Amino acid sequence: MAQKYNIEGISATVDYIISRSFDQNSPRKLDPVETFALAASHQLKAGQKAAARSLKLLEDVEDFENLARALPHYSGVIGLLGAQSMRTKALVKVLANLQRLDAIPSLEGGYHVDQYDVMICRECRDKLSYTLEPYMGYRPDWVYRWAATALNELVNKPLSECEHLFHISILHELGEDRGCRDCIRAALEAKDGECFKSWAEDMRSELQDALRAVDCLYGL
Ligand SMILES: [Zn+2]
């Protein structure tokens, strides 16, 4: 008997009707704030998106806080949704805009930089026309694979559970199936691993700062 009632199908239809009601020439006019909260609490994704778009809600953390304040009854679900979507946005912002790595001059060599100071192999360096100068910027290909791995994990897990991303052994994983192995070797060996360590520390604090801004939404 229960199968007679196709709950999933009904939900999908309601979701569709709600989302279409925000079309410009729709005769039905729903209140976007109420609709957003209701759609969110019943997991009607299309309706939720259409209502949010109509309100331009999902721009930043403050918008979610304001909405939660306006609808205290739904503040929990609004907070969770906001936190998840803002978390992804914050991570993409940091990880898609990775700064170039700096070649810091070695202490012993003063302002002289040599191959031992950089986390990119000689061949890739030549191919990309990077020169060995103090504070010159360069980007080895493993950095992009690191960013993709980090995004994948940090979208679903807190930073504290992703410590391995910042440990030098991650380089072995990144070099397993593709990319330049010589660049991985250069990163492992540059200043006996100190280069990677300080780069990873910088990345960690940048990500920490970006995620701190969205943490407040979890507590709504
Ligand atoms: Zn290389």
Residue 23 Cα, ligand 1 centroid: separation in angstroms?
Answer: 51
Residue 93 Cα, ligand 1 centroid: separation in angstroms?
Answer: 26
Q: What is the pLDDT of residue 202?
A: 92
Residue 58 Cα, ligand 1 centroid: separation in angstroms?
Answer: 40
Q: What span, in angstroms and rounded, lies between the C-alpha atoms of 107 and 110?
A: 6
Chain segment 11-29, per-residue pLDDT in tens: 888 888 888 887 877 777 7
Q: Which two tokens stand for residue 116?
A: 């031992």
Residue 116 Cα, ligand 1 centroid: separation in angstroms?
Answer: 14
Residue 154 Cα, ligand 1 centroid: separation in angstroms?
Answer: 27
Q: What is the pLDDT of residue 153?
A: 93
Please measure the distance between the N-terminal and C-terminal CA atoms of the chain and give it in whole angstroms. 40
Where in the chain are the domains?
2-95, 101-215
Regions of the chain with pLDDT less than 50: 1-2
C-beta of residue 40 within 8 angstroms of C-beta of residue 52 = no
Chain segment 69-96, per-residue pLDDT in tens: 888 888 888 888 888 888 888 898 899 8
Q: Residue length, the chain?
A: 220
Which residues have C-beta within 8 Å of that of residue 191, sequence separation ≥ 6? Answer: 106, 116, 117
Q: What is the pLDDT of residue 82?
A: 81
